[in-house]
Amino acid sequence: MHSRAVILVPGRLNPHAHARVRDAFDCIDTARADTALLTDEMRARVQGIAAMTRIDAAFIDALPHLRIIANFGVGYDAVDAAHAASKGIVVTHTPDVLNDEVADTAIGLLLNTLRELPKAEAWLRAGRWAAEGPYRLTPLSLRRRSIGILGMGRIGKAIARRLEGFCVPIAYHNRRPDPALAYPYHDSIVDLAGAVDTLISVLPATAETLRICDRAVFEALGPRGVFINVGRGSTVNEADLALSLADGTIAAAGLDVFEDEPHVPRALLDLPNACLLPHVASASIDTRTAMGDLVADNLTRYFTDGRVLTPVPECQHFALRA
């Protein structure tokens, strides 16, 4: 039964997810997902992985009894899912339970970027309100803006629903139009950027999206342009973005994600018109607990009846077949 299955936890895992894995399984911890750290016991016994770290093909190949990888996070670019799927190993992720939190944070980041709220608070805390007077009137506002959503999946739609309450026009780009949506669709990112002044990206990291938000996109967005990213940092050419913020090609950016986290390029850190967050879009106890439950529930279901709740697209039929 599932209580005897052996689950490997490489590196840090959300504490709630970790506790649930420890309760339900034989849990083995290792510092990193590094084949050099795998003992003979791990190679002989591990049947599942619960992780929020990179799991590459070599690590998968080093565990001959591996049957499931439960990824903590909806974005599963850190896991070589195609390789896992080719070996009949199921990969799961944590969609839906974080949609509202990430969408809430995206709106917060948008408003912070436009209305400079973190800087206004710093002004107050530094005693400058009393000493020098009110914080400046912000040159940017959400009023009279038009929004383009890049990546109209579950989270993109949750952001769009919130923005309707702000009475701003919304358009989008996605791999394909969604017939259920009334918002105008643009079939390229540059086209969308040219039609709006505010771009909110929720793009996942794939081979196709690598550094796809580049100088041409920022030029199309224009000097009033604001770029918000709560997807993946690798979808942005960060050098192009820093240049575009520095030379006025666009007005401002709000970023929750970076290509080489937790390292943020100096060129972005030095810019006054970049509002930067340390990848916190889903980072509330409430939402991370729900994500942790989904990681544990996927493992439990798999080792109980061979099914999983939320397989990644590459693994749909493996999950249903079992």
User: Which of the residues are catalytic?
Assistant: 232, 261, 279
Q: Which is nearer to ligand 8YV, 282 or 298 (CB)?
A: 282
Q: Looking at residues 14 to 53 of the shown chain, list those that interact with ligand 8YV (rule: CB under 6 A).
A: 52
- Closest approach, Cβ 178 to ligand 8YV, in A, equals 21
Interaction between residue 315 and ligand 8YV (CB under 6 A): no
Nearer to ligand 8YV, 147 or 203 (CB): 203
CA atoms within 13 A on the CB side of 114: 22
Q: Which residue is nearest to ligand 8YV (CB)?
A: 73
As a three-state string, the secondary structure of the chain is: CHHHCEEEEECCCCHHHHHHHHHHCEEEEECCCCHHHCCHHHHHHCCEEEECCCECHHHHHCCCCCCEEEECCCCCCCECHHHHHHCCCEEECCCCCCHHHHHHHHHHHHHHHHHCHHHHHHHHHCCHHHHHCCCCCCCCCCCCCCEEEECCCHHHHHHHHHHHCCCCCEEEECCCCCCCCCCCECCCHHHHHHHCCEEEECCCCCCCCCCCECHHHHHHHCCCCEEEECCCHHHECHHHHHHHHHCCCCCEEEECCCCECCECCHHHHCCCCEEECCCCCCCCHHHHHHHHHHHHHHHHHHHHHCCCCCECHHHHHHHHHC
Stretch of 1-9, 70-78, 128-136, 160-168 contacting ligand 8YV, by CB under 6 A: 70-78
Beta bridge partners of 97: none
Shortest distance, position 1 Cβ to ligand 8YV, whole Å: 29
Would you count residue 292 as binding ligand 8YV (CB under 6 A)? no
List phi, psi (to 5°) of 192.
-65, -45
Asked if 190 and 220 count as a contact pair (C-beta separation under 8 A), the reply is: yes
Closer to ligand 8YV at the Cβ: 198 or 282? 282
Site string for ligand 8YV, 214-253 (x = CB under 6 A): ----------------------------------------
Number of shown-chain residues binding ligand 8YV (CB under 6 A):
8
Considering the rule CB under 6 A, would residue 74 count as an interface residue with ligand 8YV? yes
Cβ 230 to ligand 8YV shortest distance, Å: 9
132: its two tokens: 């020098």
Q: Find the shortest distance in angstroms from Cβ 233 to ligand 8YV.
A: 10
Query: Rg (Cα) of the chain, in Å, rounded?
Result: 22
151 counts as binding ligand 8YV under rule CB under 6 A:
no
- The answer to whether residue 282 forms part of the interface with ligand 8YV (CB under 6 A) is yes
279 scored as a contact of ligand 8YV (CB under 6 A): yes
112 to 141: interface string for ligand 8YV, x by CB under 6 A: ------------------------------
Q: Which member of 5, 63, 67, 75 binds ligand 8YV (CB under 6 A)?
A: 75
Nearer to ligand 8YV, 240 or 256 (CB): 256
Cβ atoms of 85 and 314 within 8 Å: the answer is yes
- Residue 145 or 288: the one with the smaller Cβ distance to ligand 8YV is 288
Identity of the residue, 106 or 251, whose beta carbon is nearer to ligand 8YV in the bound complex = 106
Told to check if 72 binds ligand 8YV by CB under 6 A, we report: yes
The answer to whether residue 198 forms part of the interface with ligand 8YV (CB under 6 A) is no
Binding site for ligand 8YV (CB under 6 A): 52, 72-75, 98, 279, 282
